[in-house]
Each structure stands twice: as structure tokens, then as C-alpha cells.
Structure 1
């Protein structure tokens, strides 16, 4: 072999070694130290889930936390480091009425995804689809169902059973290029960490999805772990800016903990007829708000209201409060803002404005109210100004549970 051929052989050997090294590196994928920027690799696995279609925006936020905490807790033990949690797009939510239903909306429309990544490795579904050479095939779809009898022998046990009786009632967020290799029906109850038992039966699966992700329960609700995850759920900066501009312009406040207004989450629509015993009548709402102000913040005469009430109900409450001497404000998006922010963004702006008020009054057992209370806990408001509710005109008024922050 002459010198030229030897030289070519050395070069070829070097190229092969380099390619193998790059392939091995890409096979595992990697993240930078902050966890914000992850490079997908073929060795990564993707954990996907969806939620019962009728469930609302704020319950879905809580389901995200259950999956995020499950993955975070496992990774802290040095296990399953190659899993990424796929963020399910927002699509066809029942309460969204503006027509923002025609295409799936990514999480970055509403949340700071880089902040989410500081807690757990997440990735938008569209990014997963874009990185897939062929149409996305989910290796195994687990359709979770509740047991008919949750309390076997009078005791609630964490358990699951594979069955053959189920039907997937989702629609893969409007994507027509997602298919499933195998669907598995599972009766499930208990903590979400037991899902790993199902996943471990098929260790070669790369794409695993759970339908009805709302069925598994939190691992550690209300603990420091819960609050660490919750604090990472920062909102899209554009939504924050819009909310703070509104607070400055209409509510005369430019500090984090405002002293100039009281905020109310006044849930109507379905609550007015399905939970009438837990909420005030339209006629009684203004009187109750007036009494709450007099009892707690008598110097405040400005009220911000976040509500799903009809236009007629809103006008009636506004007039009633004005007659009592209050300035009343609602965040009403322009058509341009609604097109830009969608229903979810408008809801978040409402929540941000409520979160910064001197005093907050919510609606009993509403997840919208729960999320505002959490924001106020993160901001550091006294609990006495946060865990308050509108009561029915007559009868019992159970005090709201206080889930205070744990540092």
C-alpha cells in the first residue's frame, strides 16, 4: 500500500470515528446546565398526556403539575433522565367561546416555557412532530379509566388493572398526522407515580401517552415540591405586561402588592345553576361585596371584577356597585387583543390583575380562584387577604381551604 492510500485510510478512519461519536452523542441528547435548552436525540423518550375534553384551562394547568412533579421526583433520584414531558396544545376547550378553536395553541402563547424547563425537561408537541422524520407514531396509548368502586373493602388503594373495555375519546389536539401502534385500556386509581409501573412493562417504547391525565392524583399536593413546580409556571411576558399596564392605567398602582383596589372572581354561568347553593344571587352579589369592603378595606373604593357572567349580568352588577359609590373595572379585550391573546390569555390577564389586589374575594371551589390564590401566595400577600369567598345569600358559608406556600 503506497503512502497516498495509507493517508486516505487514516482520513477515512478519522471520519468514521467522528461520525460514531456524534451519533452516540445525538442518541442520548443533552441539555445545558440551566435545563432551558435541550437538544433532542434519538435516545430520548417522550411522555405525553391529554385531559378529559370538557375540563377547563385551570384544571389542565394542575394536571400538568402532576406529570411534571412525577418526572422531576424520579429524575432527582437519578432515574429516567432521558424522558421529556410533552406539553399538550390547548385545543377546543369547552369554556373558550371566541372561536380560538380552529388550531392547536402551544404553551408559549400563555406561559414562559423556559421557566418551565428550569423545573423539568419539557417540549412543545409541535417541536416533537417537527423533529420526527415520519408522521408521529405513539408506541403505546394508555386510556385511563376510573374504577367503578373506588373503595374496595372500604379502603382507597393505589392500583391499576389492564382491561379490554375502553374507547379513546380524544382527537390528538387536531393533528391528523399522529397515529398509535397499540392502545391499552387501564382502570386506574391512586398517585400518578404508579404510571411508571405501566411504562416499565415496555422499556423500548419511545413515545408513551396517557389519556385522561386528570385521573391520577398528585404525589405531594401542597408540599414544597408542589410549590417549586408552581413557581416555575410563570406567564408569558406579553400577558404580564398587558396586565400591569391595565393596573397602572385604571387601578392606579405601580407596585407588586397594590393597595388601591379590591378584586373579585365572580363565577356565574354553569355555577349559577349547578352550584346555586354555593354562590350569591345576582341581586345579593353587590351587597355582599360592599359589606366585604366595609369589613376589611374600608378606604378602598375601586373594584376589579373577573367574571364569565353575561353582558346583562355584568351591567347590572356594575350599576349596583356604582350606586353604592364604587368605581368598577373589568378587563375587556379589544378584538385585536382577543385575536392575539385568545381566551386563555384573557383569563390569565384577569388572574394577574386579581393577584395584585390589596384584597381578593373568590368563588367557592373554582379552579380559576385557586390559581389566583396560588399567585397571591407566591407574591407574599397575607393569607387573610387571599382566602376569601362570595357566599350564598342564605344558609351555610363554608370557609375556603387555605393552601399556603411552603418555601
Structure 2
């Protein structure tokens, strides 16, 4: 028996031991030759999202696919999910990256792997024999023109029509596609298996516009198990904790010394004027919320995409009535290291630990903070709060409570 064969058998034996020890809890790393099967026997799904969509919507799309693949693995389907790199996001205007960024820049990938069989794209590149990564079939998903045909929303799909892939393959120039298929699609994400089954020999399958398929498990225990697995990169967590300790004298999960606010501006201030307040209205609402919750609190942390001129005015007006206003302002080295995506996560972590949180209506940035606070164990009354327009109706935010 050759040395190489002995080494391979040793690795396989080690994987069997680890699998038995974990009792099926989690999936092994592809770089460790994956306990769930040899690379040659695995099949892979990768997806892309409508280019203008932001970081936090993409996190939700990931959960739909991760749950789909996790449940498939439980039914002995030998598929893995390739994590699409982060590249050229519309909202990352400060530090656009000229190269694709792996998920490990922002998340604890080992934690993701404990819930679903996921792998980074660069890991797949390291395993394929060719320098060219060839996708067997690219399904370009499209919405139906009328979601409620005859007044009814139902799951359906059909192949046909004209379409173009409007992505860039995450900036890679070594990705090719054998066949592109246009699909009108509506309904749950698990129905994608029906499409996949049409070509059972495909090894690499991609779905463009992965935001179109809907959750099968939204709000269920499975949903929350997946959400809890999405732990952040430790460097981001440590930076946020250091900030909270230094400025708010808090070293616990649930702080009592500050209030946090997500003040969405830019596109919301232009296109959703009926949902967001003016600067004066924002100050009044924050002041009222603190007085009703705990008048002893004077520290306010604000996460915002607002223009500097707006933030200066907001800070001054809050300071004039006795509050200390805080923003996370990264150093240049932190910005170079964490990028805009990492800085936004640090903002979210700081908001998540505050005694009381006020968000922006129907903002995915706010949704992710509310989810973190549910995981941390905050009372719902301190989490599901929103900034209201100066005038008119103010609809209460939906409360999606954790299921353990």
C-alpha cells in the first residue's frame, strides 16, 4: 500500500471518528475532505442575488438556501451550498473591493457549517482540476407578471422566455456556464428541487435572482436555528464589545446604559417619505422614547447612512436637550480591514446590545438587529420599536419572536 493511500485512509478514518463523536451535529469542512462524502461525489448549488440588493437582504436569502440544503442532507441528498462571495455591493460606497470577499470576512463560517453543508467558493476552486470553473446549468429566475392570478397566490414555475444574467460572477473571469435556462418562478424555495431533478447528472447548478424563491420555514424553530448559526466574525464582535465597554461601561450581553437607533436615510428619505421622520421629528421621538423607558439614560448610539450634514444636525439637536450622541467612526486601518460591510455589522452589534432599540420601518438592517436582540433575550417591548413619520399613520412593526 502506498504512503499516499495510507494517508488518505487515515484522514477518512479520522472523519468517521469525528462524525461519531458529533453524532451528526454539523458538517465537516471541505478542506478536511468532508465527512459527508468525497468531493467527487458531492453536488453543489450556488446562487446570486439581484445586484442592487443590499447586504442584509442577502443574509436572508442565504438562510433560505441554507435551510433548503440542510433539510436535503437530512434526506440523504448529497448537495452542498457554495457561499457566493461579497462583491461590488451598491451600498458599499466607501470601500468598494476590487476582488471578491469570502464569507469568513464577516461571519464565523465554522458556525455556518454546523447548521448546513456550506463551502466557500475559493475552497471549491482549490479542488477542481481545471483553472476554469464551469457551471453545468444556470437558472435565471424571473417573477411572474401577476403574482395573484385569478386572485390566488400559488406555487408554480415554467421554463421559457428570454432572459439575461445581469451579474458578474462576483468579479471572477474564470467562471463559465454550459447552459442558461430562463424560468418564471413563484413560491417556496424547496420547489427548486423539481427544476434540479430535470438534469440529474449536473454537478454544479446556479440560480440567479435567488431572492425570488420564498422561505419554507419562516419564523419556525428551523428558521431560528439557522439564524443563530449566523455568528459574526470574531474580530468584528471584539471591536464592537470594546466600543461598548469604553463608551457605555457595559461588559454584559444586555446593557442598561444606552439606547440605540437605526436612522435610515438616503434612499428611504427620497422614496419612502411617508415612513420616515424629519430631523426634528426624529429628535422628538427619541426624546419621548427615552423619557418613557428610562429618563436616567443619556447615551444614544446612532447607526445611520445619513449625510454628514444630517448627522451633525441630529447630534446637535439631541445634545442641546442633554443627550450624549455616539457614532462608531472606524479608523482608516479598521475601514481597510473590515470594509463597509464589516463596519455595518459593528454598528448592528452595538445596536443589538442596547437597553432599548428604535429602528426604521421595513428596513432589513433593522430586521437583522431585531433578530439579534431576540437571540440575546431582550424583552420584545425594547426591540420592536420604530421611527414614525411626522404626520399621518404609523403602523406598528411586525414582531417575529424567537422559537427555541
TM alignment of 1:85-124, pairs within 5 A: 85-124=81-120
| SS at 1:272 equivalent | helix
Using the TM superposition, give the Cα deviation of residue 202 of structure 1 relative to its aligned residue in structure 2, in angstroms.
0.8
Distance in 2 between the 1:186 and 1:30 partners?
Answer: 43
Q: For the structure 1 residues 197 and 31, does the alpha-carbon distance in structure 2 shift closer, same or farther, using more than 3 Å as the test?
A: farther
The range that moved more, 51-60 or 40-49, is 40-49
TM alignment of 1:164-175, pairs within 5 A: 164-175=161-172
Can you list the C-alpha shifts for 1:134-171, whole angstroms capped at 9, x where unaligned? 11100000000001111222111101000031111111
Can you list the C-alpha shifts for 1:365-399, whole angstroms capped at 9, x where unaligned? 00000000000000000000000000011111100
When the two chains are superposed, the root-mean-square deviation of aligned CA atoms in Å is: 2.0
Can you list the C-alpha shifts for 1:62-107, whole angstroms capped at 9, x where unaligned? 000000011112222x231x21100000101000011323111000
Select the residue among 293, 306, 309 that pairs with 1:309. Answer: 306
With normalisation by structure 2, the TM-score equals 0.93
Q: Is the 8 A contact 2:139 2:208 kept in 1?
A: yes
Distance in 2 between the 1:400 and 1:294 partners?
Answer: 21
With normalisation by structure 1, the TM-score equals 0.92
TM alignment of 1:176-191, pairs within 5 A: 176-191=173-188
Q: For the structure 1 residues 244 and 391, does the alpha-carbon distance in structure 2 shift closer, same or farther, using more than 3 Å as the test?
A: same
Q: Which residue of 1 aligns with 2:27?
A: 35
TM alignment of 1:318-329, pairs within 5 A: 318-329=315-326
Q: Which residue of 2 aligns with 1:399?
A: 396
TM alignment of 1:167-246, pairs within 5 A: 167-246=164-243
Distance in 2 between the 1:215 and 1:193 partners?
Answer: 12
1:361 maps onto 2:353 in alignment: no
Distance in 2 between the 1:280 and 1:121 partners?
Answer: 43
Q: Is the 8 A contact 2:107 2:230 kept in 1?
A: yes
TM alignment of 1:63-82, pairs within 5 A: 63-76=61-74, 78-80=75-77, 82=78
Using the TM superposition, give the Cα deviation of residue 126 of structure 1 relative to its aligned residue in structure 2, in angstroms.
1.1
Q: Which residue of 2 aligns with 1:11?
A: none
Q: Is the 8 A contact 2:156 2:185 kept in 1?
A: yes
| SS at 1:280 equivalent | coil
Q: Is the 8 A contact 2:95 2:335 kept in 1?
A: no
Q: Is the 8 A contact 2:46 2:205 kept in 1?
A: yes
Q: For the structure 1 residues 30 and 277, does the alpha-carbon distance in structure 2 shift closer, same or farther, using more than 3 Å as the test?
A: farther
Distance in 2 between the 1:378 and 1:193 partners?
Answer: 26
| SS at 2:115 equivalent | coil
Q: For the structure 1 residues 36 and 112, does the alpha-carbon distance in structure 2 shift closer, same or farther, using more than 3 Å as the test?
A: farther
Q: Is the 8 A contact 1:36 1:115 kept in 2?
A: no
Can you list the C-alpha shifts for 1:341-364, whole angstroms capped at 9, x where unaligned? 000100000000000000000000
Q: Is the 8 A contact 1:297 1:359 kept in 2?
A: no
Q: For the structure 1 residues 324 and 335, does the alpha-carbon distance in structure 2 shift closer, same or farther, using more than 3 Å as the test?
A: same
How many residue pairs get matched? 388
Q: Is the 8 A contact 2:72 2:79 kept in 1?
A: no
Using the TM superposition, give the Cα deviation of residue 30 of structure 1 relative to its aligned residue in structure 2, in angstroms.
11
Distance in 2 between the 1:149 and 1:128 partners?
Answer: 38
Select the residue among 251, 254, 258 that pairs with 2:255. Answer: 258
Distance in 1 between the 2:68 and 2:285 partners?
Answer: 42
Q: Which residue of 1 aligns with 2:347?
A: 350
Q: Which residue of 1 aligns with 2:44?
A: 46
The range that moved more, 171-180 or 159-168, is 159-168
Unpaired segments of 5 or more residues in structure 1?
1-13
Q: Which residue of 2 aligns with 1:55?
A: 53
Distance in 2 between the 1:279 and 1:41 partners?
Answer: 50
TM alignment of 1:126-165, pairs within 5 A: 126-134=122-130, 135-165=132-162
Unpaired segments of 5 or more residues in structure 2?
none
Q: Is the 8 A contact 2:135 2:178 kept in 1?
A: yes
Using the TM superposition, give the Cα deviation of residue 31 of structure 1 relative to its aligned residue in structure 2, in angstroms.
8.0
Distance in 2 between the 1:247 and 1:205 partners?
Answer: 49
